[in-house]
Structure 1
Amino acid sequence: MAVEGLLVFLLIGAIAGWLAGLIVRGFGFGLIGNIVVGIIGAFFAGWLLPRLGLHFAVMGPFFNSVLHALIGAVILLAIIGVIRRL
């Protein structure tokens, strides 16, 4: 992966983490923590969603990438929130 691709991936993960923090209230880690969770969620969604056969073609490649990363970040925040409650 080229440096530009990595930077775009990190930007998408950061946006997704921020949005996931807004969606999943109470399970977040603050702004910086949610951005990190978003980046990890982007990796998670990039691995999981194609295996489940879920593909979204909504507005364009950037928006679709943010949507996939957002789904991964929300799932990851929900899992972390359940584990923290145990």
Structure 2
Amino acid sequence: MFQSSTQSLNRPQIYNDALQFMDNPPADCKVTILAPSEHFKIRALTMDKLKLTLGYREGKKAAGAHLRGIKENEPLTVAQAIGGV
């Protein structure tokens, strides 16, 4: 329990470090961000099972489309992957 308490206290720093890494990856690293569309409104700590299920499905769909694009050497944007554009 002590470890999870410590992790909770460090969560904002870990989150900010991750964002910084994604914005400024090392030169030999390519970062692909798969995120929900702007139309998908959900809070980070929601307990709403329907919203969580819909978010999971959207993410799974976007990841699958992205991986298919990689196989075809044509990576998709997130909007394309979820059928937005």
- The alignment's TM-score, normalised by the length of structure 1, stands at 0.32
Larger Rg: 2
Choose between structure 1 and 2: higher helix proportion: 1
Which structure exhibits the higher relative contact order, with contacts defined as CA atoms closer than 8 Å and separated by 6 or more residues?
1
Scaled by the length of structure 2, the TM-score of the pair is 0.33
